[in-house]
Amino acid sequence: MKRFWTLVLMISLAQFSTGQYVTKCYQDHVLNNYFEYSYPGFQEARKTLFLKALDYASHHSVGQHAKQQSPDTIYRFPVVVHIVYNEAAENLDEQLIQDQIDVLTRDFRRKNADTSDLRSIFLPVAADAGIEFFLADIDPNGNPTNGITRTNTSVTSFGSITSLDLVKDSTTGGKNAWPTDEYLNIWVCDLSIPLLGDAALGFAYPPIEAPNWPSELQNTQEQYEGIVIHYKVFGPNNPLATGLLSIADQGRTPVHEMGHYLGLRHIWGDAGNPLFGGVDCDPSLDDGFDDTPNAGNNSQATGCDKTKNSCGDGDPNDLPDMIENYMDYSTESCQVTFTSQQAGLMRAMVVIGRTGMADVYVNDVRIIDGKFRENGPSTNLHALEAGKSTIYPNPSADEITITWPSDVKGRDISIYSVDGIHVASNIPQTKINTMDISSLLPGHYIVQIEFTNGIKEFIPLIKQ
Ligand code: ZN
Ligand code: CA
């Protein structure tokens, strides 16, 4: 435990003495040290899951679609925002909350207007992650909701570095999570730290419910899954994000934390600390991706400096630091992108680490409900266009035949896994089509048949 406290003290003193440095994100500086000492298996398990997701992304279309063009399969997460307030100013407006959700979707879909600020050298790796967010409209009891809870607390600040999860517990002045395997929980509260003020803006846990995690983490941390954001930096143009916090006034602290929630690491790999003039270019202390240039430290101290190149290595083709990346600490007004590999990893994490939470849309049609919808009243979109076509045999081990009546013409047949991953397709020539599915893994699939009139039909398929 000693190293943990030393580290905390060092960070605190540095912030205190310079008076101009906020820890944008607690993630790796403090939180993981806490985990490392409380749960010795944590770092190893996180690394294992990260590598698993990298591997998954490289072998499935879920990771590869994220390049250049927008992916066909979009994941939409139901979000609940827990406003835990002591003073009236902390009780944020519903509009600001909705605006924040819109910013999350905008940035994860690369629909932000300021994407044009990205230097052209990085355009080839800029990616639409194909992940969206919406305020949940059904609560855990199946009742309609606006996706926002409001809790008045007597706790003046939840920024205690020794007990960051108090805001997630009703018995300690916070608010209990909605089921964290169904809803993406965001807590918004006062994270200020005594004496230091607005020194921490947010933190998130990476997926810890996935297989291979230490069982004590799965059992004890499940109710803490989600992200926590300081109320002054939640929402774009939050009127409270002034002074030192003007570096974080674009609603991109939640974008950054959502990156962590979906498994991303900081772009500089948490090596050198610019506070102490530190630069660490050891490639093994990297963020794990090839398409982000090696960076030796974060960019907070240098703001929006596009000449920053902390790891030049004397190579004339070396790229500068990617200060435009959401996973840096640069000023938010110059953070404009995720990379293709970051997007691919997050999409893989949606499938293997946040399994079943998101609704899955293929070509703008919801084909799979997230768990929370399955528990509540739901329009069964799967059946909307059902009844025209047939598949036989079903279940099948090798070949299927797909037919439809002669009054419609087929344009495309695509097979998706239940995670929305495209696994096979066929351009139909006639109204009777055969497809070889022998190479598919046994399990459940969805066959999408698109007709020339634009109508789509979805039929469940079981591969034996
Ligand atoms: Zn972070
Ligand atoms: Ca470099």
Q: How many angstroms separate the CA atoms of 331 and 335, rounded?
A: 7
- Per residue in 18-33, pLDDT tens? 445 666 777 665 555 5
Share of the chain above pLDDT 70, in %: 84
Q: How many of the other CB atoms lie within 10 Å of CB of 158?
A: 26
Mean model confidence pLDDT for the chain: 84
Share of the chain above pLDDT 90, in %: 46
Identify the band that residue 229 occupies on the pLDDT scale cut at 50, 70 and 90. very high
Which range has the worst mean pLDDT, 8-17, 58-67, 302-311, 355-364? 8-17
**Residue 377 alpha carbon to ligand 1 centre in Å:** 36
**Residue 28 alpha carbon to ligand 1 centre in Å:** 7
Identify the band that residue 398 occupies on the pLDDT scale cut at 50, 70 and 90. very high
pLDDT at 258: 97
- Measured in whole angstroms, how far is the alpha carbon of residue 26 from the centre of its chain? 17
Q: Which of 90, 182, 257, 332 is catalytic?
A: 257
Q: How many angstroms separate the CA atoms of 202 and 31, rounded?
A: 11
The pLDDT of residue 439 is above 70: yes
**Residue 233 alpha carbon to ligand 1 centre in Å:** 14
pLDDT at 29: 56
**Residue 272 alpha carbon to ligand 1 centre in Å:** 14
Helix (H, G, I), strand (E, B) or coil at 248: helix
**Residue of higher predicted confidence among 368 and 397:** 397
**Residue 268 alpha carbon to ligand 1 centre in Å:** 11
**Residue 296 alpha carbon to ligand 2 centre in Å:** 8
- Per residue in 359-391, pLDDT tens? 998 878 888 888 998 877 655 554 445 567 889
pLDDT at 16: 39
**Residues, CB-to-ion distance under 5 Å, ligand 1:** 25, 27
Q: How many angstroms separate the CA atoms of 129 and 74, rounded?
A: 8
What's this model's pTM, rounded to 2 decimal places? 0.85
**Residue 98 alpha carbon to ligand 1 centre in Å:** 23
The DSSP line for 410-455 is EEEEEEEETTS-EEEEE--SSSEEEEE-TTSPSEEEEEEEEETTS-
Ligand nearest to the Cα of 206, by number: 1
DSSP state of 60: S
Helix (H, G, I), strand (E, B) or coil at 332: helix
- Using N-to-C axis directions, what is the helix angle for 94-108 and 253-261, rounded to 10°? 60
Ligand nearest to the Cα of 316, by number: 2
Ligand nearest to the Cα of 286, by number: 2
Ligand nearest to the Cα of 317, by number: 2
**Residue of higher predicted confidence among 77 and 282:** 77
Q: Which helix (H) or strand (E) is 451 found in, with range?
A: strand 443-451
Residue 257 a catalytic site member = yes
